[in-house]
Amino acid sequence: MAMMKALRKVRAAKGLEIAEVAVPTVGPTDALVRVSAASICGTDLHIYGWDRWSQGRIKPPVTLGHEFCGVVERVGEEVTAVNAGDFVSAEMHVNCGHCHQCRLGEAHICQNLKIIGIDQDGAFAEFVKIPASNIWKLDAAIPERYGAILDPLGNAVHTVLAGPIAGQTVLVTGCGPIGLMAITVAKACGSSTVFASETNAQRRAMALQMGADVAIDPVSEDAVARILRETSGTGVDALLEMSGNPTAIQQGFAALRAGGRASLLGIPTENVQLDLVKDVIFKGATVQGIYGRRMYETWVQMTALLKAGRLNLEPLFGERVALDNFEGAFAMLQKGLAGKILMYPAGMK
Q: Which residues are catalytic?
A: 43, 46
The answer to whether 70 contacts ligand NAD (rule: CB under 6 A) is no
Handedness of CA 273, 279, 282, 284 (dihedral sign): negative
Burial 9-45 (b: 16+ CB within 10 A, else e): beeeeeebebeebebbebeeebbbbbbbbbbbbebbe
Cα angle for residues 52, 63, 34 (degrees, 5° grid): 145
Tell me the residue length of the chain.
349
Give residue number: closest CB to ligand NAD: 176
The option from ligand NAD, Zn ion, none interacting with 243 (CB < 5 to 8 A, set by class) reads ligand NAD
The answer to whether 133 contacts Zn ion (rule: CB under 5 A) is no
The option from ligand NAD, Zn ion, none interacting with 339 (CB < 5 to 8 A, set by class) reads none
The answer to whether 177 contacts ligand NAD (rule: CB under 6 A) is yes
The answer to whether 176 contacts ligand NAD (rule: CB under 6 A) is yes
Strand partners, 263: 240, 288
Quickly list H helices, 31-139. 42-49, 52-57, 100-103
The option from ligand NAD, Zn ion, none interacting with 22 (CB < 5 to 8 A, set by class) reads none
- Residue among 252, 216, 214 at smallest CA distance from 235: 252
Minimum CB distance to ligand NAD, residue 265 (Å): 4
The option from Zn ion, ligand NAD, none interacting with 200 (CB < 5 to 8 A, set by class) reads ligand NAD
Contact assessment for residue 250 and residue 273, using Cβ atoms and an 8 Å cutoff = yes
Minimum CB distance to Zn ion, residue 111 (Å): 5
The answer to whether 199 contacts ligand NAD (rule: CB under 6 A) is yes
The answer to whether 214 contacts Zn ion (rule: CB under 5 A) is no
Sole window of 57-65, 78-86, 167-175, 340-348 interacting with ligand NAD (rule: CB under 6 A): 167-175
Minimum CB distance to Zn ion, residue 108 (Å): 10
Sole window of 58-66, 92-100, 154-162, 224-232 interacting with Zn ion (rule: CB under 5 A): 92-100
The answer to whether 256 contacts ligand NAD (rule: CB under 6 A) is no
Separation CA 334–CA 331 (nearest Å) = 5
Nearer to ligand NAD, 219 or 300 (CB): 219
Minimum CB distance to ligand NAD, residue 40 (Å): 10
Contact assessment for residue 89 and residue 117, using Cβ atoms and an 8 Å cutoff = no
Distance from CA of residue 233 to its chain's centroid? 33
265-324 residues near ligand NAD, rule: CB under 6 A: 265-267, 290-292
The option from Zn ion, ligand NAD, none interacting with 18 (CB < 5 to 8 A, set by class) reads none
- Residue among 183, 65, 43, 177 at smallest CA distance from 127: 65
By CB under 5 A, name the one of 84, 96, 141, 201 that touches Zn ion.
96
Separation CA 154–CA 299 (nearest Å) = 7
Nearer to Zn ion, 116 or 165 (CB): 116
Separation CA 170–CA 230 (nearest Å) = 12
- Residue among 271, 275, 269 at smallest CA distance from 256: 275
Handedness of CA 230, 234, 240, 243 (dihedral sign): positive
Sole window of 52-60, 131-139, 184-192, 238-246 interacting with ligand NAD (rule: CB under 6 A): 238-246
- Residue among 168, 207, 182, 164 at smallest CA distance from 266: 182
The answer to whether 244 contacts ligand NAD (rule: CB under 6 A) is yes
Quickly list H helices, the chain. 42-49, 52-57, 100-103, 144-147, 150-160, 177-188, 201-209, 223-230, 246-255, 297-307, 326-334
By CB under 6 A, name the one of 36, 95, 134, 155 that touches ligand NAD.
155
The answer to whether 218 contacts ligand NAD (rule: CB under 6 A) is yes
Positions touching ligand NAD (CB under 6 A) are 42, 155, 173-179, 197-200, 203, 218, 242-245, 247-248, 265-267, 290-292
Positions touching Zn ion (CB under 5 A) are 95-96, 99, 102, 110
